[in-house]
A and B are shown apart, each in its own frame.
Chain A
Amino acid sequence: MAASNSVLGLYDNPDAGANAMDGLQSAGFALGTFDVLTGTPYPEGAFGEHVPQHRLFRFPFFGALVGLTLAILFTAGTQLAYPVVTGGKPILAVFAMLIIAYELTMLGAVVATVVGIIFESRLPNLNLGAYDARITEGYIGVVVECEGDRVEDAREVLQTAGALEIKTA
């Protein structure tokens, strides 16, 4: 099996980048094997790219559940373990417990959301593959992940679309 390569075409305008994406699709590269890299969030579909799906919205619910469980364990467990009546309040004072439960539920939701954002963004991934620093200066990068025998095909498509430079990693 040939080694996987990352090929990057660099473009100086969004139209050329969109043409490269169309060209790759026409040349038979499977969706998900090529991507567009930008330094700016463009409108979804601006490059004719595959619109990614994600499951981020599940994360906060899971985190909230964990936070709530911990809060109940903390408030009920510690008060029952040291049952001293203070201020005439019951040992398990629901209103006081609710306040801590609310905070820990929200904390769980926020932490899980951030974990979800990083996970769903496919980060961390310190190996950038084929990349060019000019992408964060306004250039458009179109990157293809392909087997070694298709590298030349990818380069040709990227070149035809008007790439200013092509890099392989």
Chain B
Amino acid sequence: MQQRRILDEVTINRELLRGNLATPKWWLPTVLGLLVVVIFGFTLMGIMFNRGLGVTGLSRPVYWGLFITTFVFWVGISHAGIMISAILRLTQAEWRRPVTRAAELLTVFSLLTALFFPLIHAGRPWRIFYWITPFDFARGIFPNARSPLIWDPFAIGTYLTGSTLFLYVALLPDLGVLRDRTTGWKHSFYTVASLGWRGNPRQWRLQTVAGILLSALMLPIFVSVHSIVSWDFAVTPSVEGWHSTIFAPYFVIGAVHSGVSAVVTMMALMRWLWGWDNYIRPEHFDALARLLIVVALGWMGFTFAELIFGVYSLEAPERALREMQMFTWPWNLLFIIFFLTAFAIPVPLWFFKRVRNNIALMFWTSILVNIGMWLERFLIIVPGLSRKQPFVFTWDTYQVSPLEWGLLLWSFAWVLMLMLLFSKFFPLIPLFETKESQVFTTDVTIGRVTIPAVVRELD
């Protein structure tokens, strides 16, 4: 921690509650702009429910297209949140402090958004309750627990519930701070939301233990969720390119790659929009970029393994699929963009410290990664289905309809709007963690240099 700032608690409260106690000028126009896109998206959904799935580009044999791609994409984004937060808490990494809340928040909102896509993809979303809930006692019809499409709601439901509770528990002390800084209805709201937090040693001890215990519980859930999402594909023997034993870890590490990049994007935006230079510093981007290098290399290893096991068997259908993905227009163009944006451009750049410490470059490379990771999911899902197979008599090439593009745009506006609404009422950087850092950090002089040192309690 070479970039320590000495800040008192009044300054920390004032700076980190800047967006809560006052409204920045840009906030309302931005939220209204996003609201327009969100309303537009809901209108598109209404049109689709009214006219049926024919308004999308989905057609035999490509029944899963942009909606399912975007579902997997947002589930992937959600993975960084808990992974970063939980691992950094468990290892008591000092640089976690400004990162954890934003990461957890990203998990909750991206999962919430991901959930929309299988629902709207069903065409008649209200009927989905027949499919996932064991409610039809009158007719004795129950969902099929052997189907991966039933495992999915359990996994995502567990992850969403756990992440939301995790986020809320860590918010309690900060809600107490907001209660003490507000009046009127806001004061009443924060009093109830903070559950009467006072900050006695019992509450602080439980808060510390909770951070570690919940992290330990959430990590296995995090691994299971994207594994189960991958099994939506991997347990389908009839589609080449999907039926792969490597899919679970491959999806998990891909999710971490895109999710950690999304955290980088979000942290850069937070620093620029709220001016939190004292809290989100280049050292945090540097640490995240180092983590991203490791994750990206691991993910590329899995990508290569998935490919080589596909082609090494010399089975004609599998080879035909790979040829289509990589060498047939327009998939080859998408493949090149995917490879460049998800790996070939950002990863070599991150090897340079100058890039890792340059927030603008980190922002843009993190955006590139997520363009590439969205394309990766698209390239897994669509070519596998659109390739000619026995007993399939129509081979329409999937064309993404304008409505589907509109709903992809909606998903980004929706997540951003939820984030901005959250930022108005709750702090995006944990105040108590930042203050704790000040208590536990001191300057030590070694020889002729004075450096900050972090003191840690014995557990």
Contacts and interface: CB of A to CB of B under 8 A. Distances in A.
A137 B206 contact: no
B443 interface: no
B214 A38 contact: no
Contact of B9 (A57, A100, A125, A136): A136
A77 B140 CA distance: 11
Contacts of A109: 217
Contacts of B140: 81-82
A74 B134 contact: yes
Contact of A60 (B195, B201, B217): B217
Interface string A7-41: 00000000000000000000000000001111111
A114 interface: yes
Contact of A37 (B143, B162, B200, B435): B200
Interface in B137-166: 140-147, 150-151, 154-155, 157-158, 161-162, 165-166
A38 B180 CA distance: 13
B177 A57 contact: no
Instruction: Assign chain B's interface to a size class.
Output: 35 or more
B27 interface: no
A78 B134 contact: yes
B13 interface: yes
Contact of A99 (B13, B151, B166, B220): B151
A125 B196 contact: yes
Given A38-B199, A79-B142, A117-B206, A111 B435 contact: no
Nearest to A132: B180
Nearest to B156: A103
A152 interface: no
B205 A54 contact: yes
Nearest to B210: A117
A18 to B, nearest CB: 12
Interface in A87-125: 87, 89, 93, 96-97, 99-100, 102-104, 106-107, 109-111, 113-114, 117-118, 120-125
B204 interface: yes
Nearest to A124: B195
Nearest to A45: B201
Contacts of B203: 121-123
Contact of A56 (B162, B191, B209, B228): B209
Contacts of B204: 38, 41-42
Interface in A56-91: 56-57, 60, 74-75, 77-79, 81-82, 84, 86-87, 89
B48 interface: no
User: What is the predominant secondary structure among interface residues of chain B facing chain A?
Assistant: helix
Instruction: Assign chain A's interface to a size class.
Output: 35 or more
B59 interface: no
A117 B169 contact: yes
B277 interface: no
B429 interface: no
Contacts of B144: 79, 84, 86
B210 A39 contact: no
Interface in B100-146: 134, 140-146
Interface in B216-264: 217-218, 220-221, 224, 228
B448 interface: no
B9 A111 contact: no
A93 B151 CA distance: 13
B181 interface: yes
Nearest to B161: A107
A121 to B, nearest CB: 5
A101 to B, nearest CB: 9
Contacts of B19: none
A2 B172 CA distance: 34
A96 B146 contact: yes
Contacts of B202: 35, 52, 54, 120-122
A57 B214 CA distance: 11
B161 A135 contact: no
B197 interface: yes
A3 interface: no
B401 interface: no
A35 to B, nearest CB: 5
B176 interface: yes
B435 A137 contact: no
Given A78-B142, A110-B165, A103 B158 contact: yes
A131 B214 CA distance: 30
B432 interface: yes
A102 B224 contact: yes
B198 interface: yes
A100 B151 contact: yes
A51 B201 contact: yes
B207 interface: yes
B328 interface: no
Given A110-B165, A136-B176, A137-B9, 16 more contacts: A39-B9, A40-B438, A41-B204, A41-B432, A41-B436, A52-B205, A54-B209, A89-B146, A96-B145, A103-B157, A106-B221, A110-B217, A113-B210, A114-B169, A117-B209, A120-B206
7 contacts: A41-B208, A54-B209, A74-B134, A106-B162, A120-B202, A136-B177, A137-B180
